[in-house]
Amino acid sequence: MRLKLFALLLCAVLTPAATRAAGPDCSRPLTLALHEHGQLYSSTTDQGIDRDMADELIRRSGCKVTVTLIQRARIWQLIESGALDFSLSGISNAERDKFAGFAWYFSNKYYLLVRRDAEVARISDFARNRELQLGVIRGFRYSATANALVDQLAEAQRVSYASGLEPLYQLLQAGRIQGMIIEPFDYPAIESDKIREISQILEFGDAPVPHGLIMSKKSLSANEQDKWRALIRAMRADGSTRRIFEKYFPAELARTLTEFKD
């Protein structure tokens, strides 16, 4: 009986330490950058999906994390150099995989928002008409077909770059660009009368692209990256991620975005 009681007491003492050891290393302050993008984050309200994801990750990890707002192109530079530990809603490619790790928490498709007076019925129509200009956010990559369109038009000097969505909406309304690439987080702005009246949406037809927590390989070891992936997996498994998305989307769309195989 005494041995059993001793074992129980020993377990109670060691369990918190074991739990801490299994979690991320919080021995130094960490850094995470958000970027302004539709329902992912708005600096005006300090709200959005990525803000909520960051808050929940900080709560679960117990780490001290400084959260800042940085333009997307700059975020990738800082992640590569190791000057920034984390960002959110990032997608991978061969180049990024060299310096960043990812923990997926949603997946979505991309679309072409195009002016009606451009007379574009298919994606290929946009590429063929040399008078049409595409607007993109600097530092953004998309799905395979969308990337191919961007690269083709960039080579022909038919791409206008901006730091965020709002400047692109303004260029679209002014007729200085005829199209821009969008995703579900941009839907509320598209539903505004000014944008809806002049535009239509075309599908690229690509499969949904996973998005996730971005982790700097230079500042975080492979073991530490796995610990943060475990936190993301736990958030998905217990429904926390889906509940965050349901604050911003109808339940069915939130389910579609957050329930996928990674």
Q: What is the DSSP letter of 47?
A: B
What CA–CA distance (Å, rounded) separates 32 from 194?
A: 34
Q: What per-residue confidence (pLDDT) applies to 21? A: 52
- Are domains 22-108+208-258 and 111-203 of this chain identical in fold? yes
Q: What per-residue confidence (pLDDT) applies to 11? A: 44
Q: What per-residue confidence (pLDDT) applies to 4? A: 46
Strands, E assignment, the chain: 30-34, 65-69, 86-90, 100-108, 111-115, 134-137, 159-162, 179-182, 199-203, 209-216
β-bridge mates for residue 209, sequence order: 108
162-166 long-range contacts, CB within 8 A, separation 24+: 162/135, 162/136, 162/137, 162/138, 163/71, 163/137, 163/138, 164/35, 164/36, 164/37, 164/71, 164/137, 165/36, 165/37, 165/38, 165/137, 165/189
CATH of domain 111-203: 3.40.190.10
Q: What per-residue confidence (pLDDT) applies to 80? A: 98
CATH of domain 22-108+208-258: 3.40.190.10
pLDDT in tens, the chain (262 residues): 444 444 444 444 443 444 445 899 999 999 999 999 999 999 999 999 999 999 999 999 999 999 999 999 999 999 999 999 999 999 999 999 999 999 999 999 999 999 999 999 999 999 999 999 999 999 999 999 999 999 999 999 999 999 999 999 999 999 999 999 999 999 888 888 889 999 999 999 999 999 999 999 999 999 999 999 999 999 999 999 999 999 999 999 999 999 998 7
104, with CB counted inside 10 A (0-12, 13-18, 19+), is buried
Q: Where are the domains of the chain?
A: 22-108+208-258, 111-203
